Amino acid sequence: MPTRVPAEDGFETIFDGQSLNGWRGKSQFWSARDGAITGETTAENPTDGNTFLIFSGKVADFERPDL
């Protein structure tokens, strides 16, 4: 299971670790599983090209924490 990094003071996380609230994408490919965003295709559920998951909130400035 991924290690959840808490948001520092003055920052907000864009993924809650449990759901795709605030994200747009085809639900047949994208899910929140075990604390991570997961994209999956299978022989029974193929994609005919790229599929994207897009954050639908507003971001004015951001930093990626060192993992």
User: Is residue 48 included in any domain, yes or no?
Assistant: yes
Mean pLDDT of 5-31: 88
User: Is residue 61 included in any domain, yes or no?
Assistant: no
* pLDDT of 23 above 80: yes
User: Is residue 18 included in any domain, yes or no?
Assistant: no
Structure tokens at 13: 């996380």
User: Is residue 39 included in any domain, yes or no?
Assistant: yes
Question: What whole-number distance in Å separates Cα of residue 60 and Cα of residue 57?
Answer: 10
User: Is residue 60 included in any domain, yes or no?
Assistant: no
* pLDDT of 3 above 80: no
Q: Which residue has the tokens 């003055």?
A: 10
For residue 67, what pLDDT is reported?
63
User: Is residue 45 included in any domain, yes or no?
Assistant: yes
- For the chain, how many structural domains are there in total? 1
- Which tens digit of pLDDT belongs to each residue from 24-38? 999 999 999 999 999
pTM equals 0.73
Cβ atoms of 24 and 51 within 8 Å: the answer is no
Q: Which residue has the tokens 């193929």?
A: 46
Q: Which domain holds residue 44?
A: 23-55
